[in-house]
Structure 1
Amino acid sequence: MTMRRSRGPLVFLVCLLAGGPLFFTPGLRPIPSRQESRMALSAEPAPPKKPASAYMLWLKENRVRIAGSLGEDGKKVTLVSKAAGAEWKTLSDKVKKKFVDMAAKLKANFLTEKEAFEKQGGVMPARKSRKAATAKKTKDPSLPKRPKNAYMLWLQDHRKEITDALGPGHQPKQVMVEAGKRWKTCSDAEKGPYVAQASELKQAYNKQKQGHVKL
């Protein structure tokens, strides 16, 4: 903003000599710059920010505590997030309710502000393309881990046997090829325990996934 000195004294003398009215404004008068004028004319209301989820509200209150419990590892964001996600999964619905209710209120306020913003002619920022979102997407640490299938459970029990049979200097690919051959030759009776275990793990996984709260 530029400042221009008033011509008050000069106007006073001119008016006095001419016998005209003595109207002038003494002192300095602020004059908006061209850039400020453009900014004022082009100013638009900012779009409302997306509200935090129940998990993020809980994490905000507990991040310092969780980081402190990890010691030196508390300085690593990924480890703090992993520990927080694991703890969040163990919380009861009663404990989570406070944050779930807070998140619901924030979301309701967001929708109200969004509607008002759009009525004023505002346009919400466009969503990123699926390709860009996938590239930058981070794994939800609180998401239940996908269980192993029957073959992977069997391999877990027989990997050492296979690697010993292949001898030193074998490649990981050779282990998988040999394991695949052996699995195919297994009878239904041999596969049965692993199939049953995989089925139980999958049912437990689906149950956890249904009750999972997205970050």
Structure 2
Amino acid sequence: MNNLHNQHHLAGGNFAHPQFFNQHGNQGKRKMNNDPNRPKRPTSAYFYFVQLEREEAAKRGERINRVADWTKQVSAKWRTLTNEQKEQFQVLAAGDKVRYSQQMAVYTGKDANRPKRPQSAYFLWLADFRVRVKDKFAEHKDILRAAGEEWRKMTMDDKAPYEQLAEEERKKYDIKIKEYNQVMMTMMMMVNVIMMVVMMTE
């Protein structure tokens, strides 16, 4: 079981994934997302068990030639396990679910705790420009066109206050994102420690 945990840690909890069976054409066709940056779906307790069974079969020198038949046997064995026997796999699954939730929050940009990227000098200035001309233009595109023209005509001295403000915002962001990443890393380490404790008690 230690090897199973090590693979989970190194692979981000993505081995023994249902995609393994899709590749062998025996568990239906799932439309997979082709974005390489999208976090891998969390692995269920059952599929952690499947991976362990594959490892044990490999140790015995057994080859899985008929995946469908082998899967039925493993599924039947899973149903005979007690809740206590399933607990170790459920802990791994819970940890991987945390990993997936955190990574998806970052991927979709919906993590309310993640610091927002700072605005550039232009966009800081644009906010002030909108206030000045809000009654002069009816169309949003006209505001942007006028803003672009005025920004290009501005001197370096005119832009300096916004450049300075943007730099200050970047420094604040660097500090906040570093703290955020440390918190995320700590959370993942805690999950891994819990899983290791469970493995050691088996």
TM-score, L = length of structure 1: 0.38
TM-score, L = length of structure 2: 0.41
Higher relative contact order (CA 8 A, sep 6+): 2
Structure with higher Rg: it is 1
More helix by percentage: 2
